[in-house]
Amino acid sequence: MSKPERTASPADISREISRRDALKTGAAIMAGPALLKVHADSDPVKFGVIGVGSRGSYLVDHLAHLDTGRCVALCDVNQQALDDTAKKLTTNPKKYKDYRELLADRDVEAVVIAVPLYLHFQVTRDTLQAGKHVFCEKSLVFKPDEVHLLRTLAAEHPKQVLQVGLQRRYSIYFQSVKKMIDDGILGTVTHIHGQWHRNPGWTMKEGGKGNPKNWRLFREFSGGLTAELASHHIDVADWYFGAHPEFVVGVGGLDFWKDGRDVFDNIQLIYSYPGGRKFMYSAITTCQHLPILSSQRPEFGLVIMGTAGAVEMTLGSDNAPPTALWFREPEPTTLSSGPPSTTASASWAQVGPQKGIPIITPATQVDWQKDSFLARESKFARRWLYDKGIMLPQEDRNPVDTELESFLSDVRSGNRPRADLEVGLADSTAVILSNLAMDENRRVYFKEMETMGVAPPTPPPAPPVAATESGAPATATAATAKPAVPAKSTKAPVITKRAPASTKASDPLKP
Ligand SMILES: NC(=O)c1ccc[n+]([C@@H]2O[C@H](COP(=O)([O-])OP(=O)(O)OC[C@H]3O[C@@H](n4cnc5c(N)ncnc54)[C@H](O)[C@@H]3O)[C@@H](O)[C@H]2O)c1
């Protein structure tokens, strides 16, 4: 077996970046923010990609087909990944191994970030400070202090677009189901089930923690299954419920993979939303069965359950795009002439196979003016197959294309992305608190994030001790004593652990 490439461990990479900060200071300051340039609406957005591993290179594949953008730069600490991804492009992108050099490149207007989670905040912060627009993969940030810091920092850069890679927000099916919920077609949605079941899921590559390719398997760099998988469905639950959870409980186990990883290999989470609504989530690594959509799809999907109906849905993949089926809730049947064995006064509901109703998208709607005879016939045939349950209706486009196209368009128009900063921060908050709930085996309230990673306000200095006429220090009586805790401070919260980047005088990329 060939030895995996081992350039540096994730911790080495962090240290190296800090060391280089000082060296790059001069060049970056000279370069200054690139956003100041004015671009015509029709100019393709010149973008760079930082982190061209598995996801970054996948995004490059999709971006390469969009004529509203032009990839002018790539960055990765791994030379092989850099070279392989550059070869896919016809735009001859500049190649950087240090992301700060890419940020200092005046040609780059927008940056797509697909580095491991533990680096998201640092690279996003530096990108904003370099004056560029940001598309950062989910989960947006990793630690509680980063939630607060990024909110503050983004507010200082209101003209820059910040989008998070939560692509379900860009799916026509997911948007259609949101509309069904908002229009009351499903009644009151009280419960949502989400699952992402894999077998085997992530495996440990040679080199253990020292191999940067294993970053997902270690808590120092990764939020585990919650960050990598659950984050997508938690975001849908927030969106569909139109709220954030009040609390989360969960059980996580490292029960089946004894390969040195320290993240859970199976998680079960329950989120309680206002009004008693619940989102139940499961991620396992021992069976990929998906018991919805007639089991025609594997691994991941959602069931949206309302008092008047339910929807089964999944985002799918490049080869099996998003789909959804709608099930009407049967009218409750009360026993009046039920089976003889049924106790009088008990009620029973008739249970039988239920047929899902395909949710039709514009792709399968017949346009009598525009569609050719063949196009019409093909649409009728597809709808007949959907109706018979032989074929699932599918979205005609991968939402990853839509999210990237939307990002480039928002960069030009200044519009707010669907998956914006607050969507990303709420999602990251849920990830962080879910992991805490499983680690501490307790009910974790979402309010806790308000103070997590934030230092308590500094108490004002003690008032000088006034001497009495006799020269003895005055002692406060219960009646005159001031409260030990000052009245609520109106000052902005102080973030612990790190100084906000924007106040770092030495930061090379500060505009
Ligand atoms: N939205 C989605 O559906 C989706 C899917 C997969 C991954 N992701 C996210 O994308 C991110 C990357 O995941 P991945 O699977 O591509 O991981 P990966 O390990 O395959 O790729 C990460 C890349 O970043 C590079 N890198 C590390 N440190 C760097 C630095 N300082 N500067 C430049 N490059 C650096 C690595 O060399 C590697 O090539 C993660 O946050 C993940 O959650 C999102």
Residue nearest (by alpha carbon) to ligand 1 atom 10 = 114
DSSP 430-449: HHHHHHHHHHHTS-EEGGGG
Q: Which domain holds residue 67?
A: 10-168+406-419
Decide if 379 is inside a domain: no
Decide if 231 is inside a domain: no
CATH number of domain containing 26: 3.40.50.720
Give the pLDDT score at 22: 34
DSSP 295-342: G-S-SEEEEEEETTEEEEEE---SSS--EEEEEEPPPP---SS--TTS
Alpha helices in 183-230 (DSSP H): 224-225
Query: Which residue is it, tokens 């190296």?
Result: 16
Q: Residue 83, Cβ neighbours under 10 Å: how many?
A: 13
Give the pLDDT score at 339: 53
Query: Which residue is it, tokens 């591993």?
Result: 53
Decide if 147 is inside a domain: yes
CA–CA dist 49, 74 (Å, integer): 5
Give the pLDDT score at 12: 54
Report residue 254 CA to chain centroid gap: 23
Give the pLDDT score at 500: 36
- Name all residues whose Cβ lies below 6 A of ligand 1: 13, 17, 50-56, 75-78, 81, 99, 114-117, 119, 137-138, 165, 167, 212-213, 215, 228
Q: DSSP code of 473?
A: B
For residue 249, give the 3-state DSSP assignment.
strand
Q: Which atom of ligand 1 is nearest to the CA of 55?
A: 16
Q: Which atom of ligand 1 is nearest to the CA of 57?
A: 16
For residue 364, give the 3-state DSSP assignment.
helix
Token digits for 47? 């973008």
Decide if 111 is inside a domain: yes
Q: Tens digit of pLDDT per residue, the chain (511 long)?
A: 333 333 455 555 444 444 344 334 333 433 445 444 667 778 999 999 999 999 999 999 999 999 999 999 999 999 999 999 999 999 999 999 999 999 999 999 999 999 999 999 999 999 999 999 999 999 999 999 999 999 999 999 999 999 999 999 999 889 989 999 999 999 999 999 999 999 999 999 999 999 999 999 999 999 999 999 999 999 999 999 999 999 999 999 999 999 999 999 999 999 999 999 999 999 999 999 999 988 889 999 999 999 999 999 999 888 888 888 999 998 765 555 555 444 444 454 445 567 788 777 767 777 888 888 878 877 777 777 777 666 667 777 899 999 999 999 999 999 999 999 999 999 999 999 999 999 999 999 999 999 999 987 787 777 765 444 443 433 333 333 333 333 333 333 344 444 333 333 333 222 2
Give the amino acid at 13. Answer: I
Give the max Cα distance, the chain.
106
**Are 309 and 185 within 8 A, CB to CB?**
yes
Q: DSSP code of 133?
A: E
In whole angstroms, how far apart are CA 80 and each of 2, 13, 326?
A: 15, 16, 46
Decide if 352 is inside a domain: no
pTM of the entire predicted model: 0.82
Q: Which of the listed residues 17, 77, 300, 431 should we mutate to test ligand 1's pocket, taking the one with most ligand atoms within 8 A of CB? A: 77
- For residue 53, report the distance from its CA to the centre of ligand 1, in Å: 5
DSSP 128-168: HHTT-EEEEESS--SSHHHHHHHHHHHHT-TTS-EEEE-GG
Count of domains in the chain?
1
Give the pLDDT score at 41: 76
Give the pLDDT score at 365: 76
Residue nearest (by alpha carbon) to ligand 1 atom 38 = 53
Decide if 427 is inside a domain: no
- For residue 190, report the distance from its CA to the centre of ligand 1, in Å: 35
CA–CA dist 230, 113 (Å, integer): 20
Give the amino acid at 339. Answer: P
Residue nearest (by alpha carbon) to ligand 1 atom 1 = 165
Decide if 118 is inside a domain: yes
Report residue 144 CA to chain centroid gap: 15
Interacting residues of 127 by C-beta distance below 8 A, sequence separation 6+: 50, 103, 111, 113, 134
Decide if 85 is inside a domain: yes
Cis peptide before 139 (omega within 30 of 0): yes
